[in-house]
Amino acid sequence: MMEKNLTQNSTISGDSEYSSSDEEVYIPKRKVDEYENKIINQKKKIKTLKSENEVLKSKIASLETDYDTLKKKLNRDGSNAGIEESSCTEMLKVLLQKTTELDQKTTKIDQKITEIIYQKTTKIEASLKTTVEEPSSRNKNKEKEIIFGSISFPEKPFLTISRRPKNSLFVKDLVSLLWSDEDLSQRSLTGKKHYNSKEIKQPLTPEKRFAIEEAFKDRLKKQQYHDATIALELKLVNRYISEKINDVRKCNSRRNLSMTYDIQNKNIPREEEKDLSENEPISNDMIN
C-alpha cells in the first residue's frame, strides 16, 4: 500500500531540496529510500512471524490428530485399550491444554502482525506528511533549465538565442550567457600566451566550452545538417568564442577611451560601428 502511494502520489527527486509542479510533489530520493528500507525490514519481520505462525498451526494440527486418535481409541476400546482409562484421559487433557496454548499464541502472533503493519504504515505516512513540506516560493518560481553536458542554461534566454539566424551569433550569445563581459575580458580561449600579448590570461572553463559545443551540435542536428558538415561547423566554435572575447575587449577599450576624452572635454567623433572581429588576428588554436 505504501509503495503504491509513493509511486502514484509523489515523484522521486535526486535533489536535496524539495520542489513541485502544479500537480506533483517531489520527495528527496534519500527520504524515499529510507522509508522503503523500513518497509522492507518490516516485511521481513512479518514474514518471519508468519513462518512461526505456520509452524505453530502445523503443531496444532498434529496435536489435534493425536487427540482425535486417542479419543477414538478410548471410545472404541474403553478400559481394554491396553492403557488405563485414567491415564488416557490425562493425556487428552494435556493435549487439549497444549492445543489451547498454541491456538492462543497463534492468535497473538496474528494480532501482532496486524498491529505492526498498522503502526509502521501510520508512522511512515505521518513522516511523509511532515517531510513533504510546502515548497518555497523560490522553488515554485524556479525557471526551467536546458542542460548540455554538466551545464544548465536558463530556458527562456536559451530559446531566444536559438532563434538567432547565424551560427556565429548563436555561439557568441551562449558565451555571453555563461560569462560576463568583465570575466571574458580577463580570459583567453586556451590560456596560452598570444603572440601579440604580454600576459597569459586564465582559460575559459572547459565544461562550459563543452556545453556550448554540445548545444551547437544539437542546433545543427535539428537543422538536419549532415554529420560531415556538423564536424566542420564544430571546428569553428573556438573561432567564434575567440571573436567574442576580442569583441568584449575592444568594447572595453573604446569605452575607456571615450571616458578619457570626456574627462578632458574633447569632442572626438566615433567611427561607424564595424564588425569588432574583422581586424583582430586569429591564431591557429582558435580554429582547431
pLDDT tens, 185-194? 888 877 666 5
Extended beta strands in 135-197, E state? 145-148, 151-154, 187-188
> Which value, to the nearest 10 degrees, does the dihedral of the CA atoms of residues 193, 194, 196, 197 take?
-50
Domain ranges of the chain: 2-140, 145-287
Q: Assess contact for 237 and 212: CB atoms under 8 A.
A: yes
C-alpha cell of residue 106:
497463534
What percent of the chain is predicted at pLDDT more than 70?
62
Q: Which long-range contacts link 255-259 to residues 24+ away (Cβ below 8 Å)?
A: none
In the structure, what pLDDT confidence band is assigned to residue 221 with cuts at 50, 70 and 90? very high
- Average of per-residue pLDDT values in the chain: 72
Please count the other Cβ atoms lying within 10 Å of the Cβ belonging to residue 209: 20
Which CATH superfamily, name and number, covers 145-287?
A: BEN domain (1.10.10.2590)
- Residue 220 confidence (pLDDT): 93
What residue ranges in 204-274 does DSSP mark as E strands?
none
**Stretch 144-173: mean pLDDT, rounded?**
90
pLDDT at 284 over 50: no
Predicted pLDDT of residue 51:
83
pTM: 0.41
